[in-house]
Amino acid sequence: MGFRFEFDSVNKILLARFEGRFTDESVADCYRAIRRYSTATDARAGIFDLSPVTEFPVSTEFIRQLARQEPAMADPTRPRVIVVPQTHAFGLARMFQIIGEPTRPLLKVVHTMDEAFATLGVQSPHFEPME
């Protein structure tokens, strides 16, 4: 599995951390898992961290299709942040943000986890691994 989940129960932030290869199939699997975990935890915000990703063989057409789907976190009033330090992947994340803006108006794309925490107004989150 190329992703894992952590949760900050004080701030109610779900963190999905993606590792290794970022492919169409693995992203689709993670997207479904985000829906399950965000519902189970009643997450008030979400962070999708792509910092540990080593390869991005995901297709731009898949990113477009995913952005047009119903959001993984269904409530559009809950902020979500994509952390992506890699320059070439940052553009893919921004494309996802722009196409998905009608259903994800509070989605932001940033370069670092510190920027993500600042975006969410959190200073010292404490994430615990989820099973």
Residue 125 pLDDT exceeds 90 = yes
Confidence of residue 1 (pLDDT cuts 50, 70, 90): low
Average pLDDT for 71-78: 93
pLDDT 10s digits, 43-62: 999 999 999 999 999 999 99
For residue 111, give the DSSP letter. S
Q: Is 48 helix (H, G, I), strand (E, B) or coil?
A: strand
Residue 59 pLDDT: 92
Average pLDDT for 15-42: 94
Distance CA 64, CA 107 (A): 15
Distance CA 36, CA 30 (A): 10
For residue 130, give the DSSP letter. -
The angle formed by the CA atoms of residues 83, 88 and 92, to the nearest 5 degrees, is 65
Residue 84 pLDDT exceeds 60 = yes
Residue 6 pLDDT: 98
- Please tell me the pTM assigned to this model: 0.95
Residue 131 pLDDT: 77
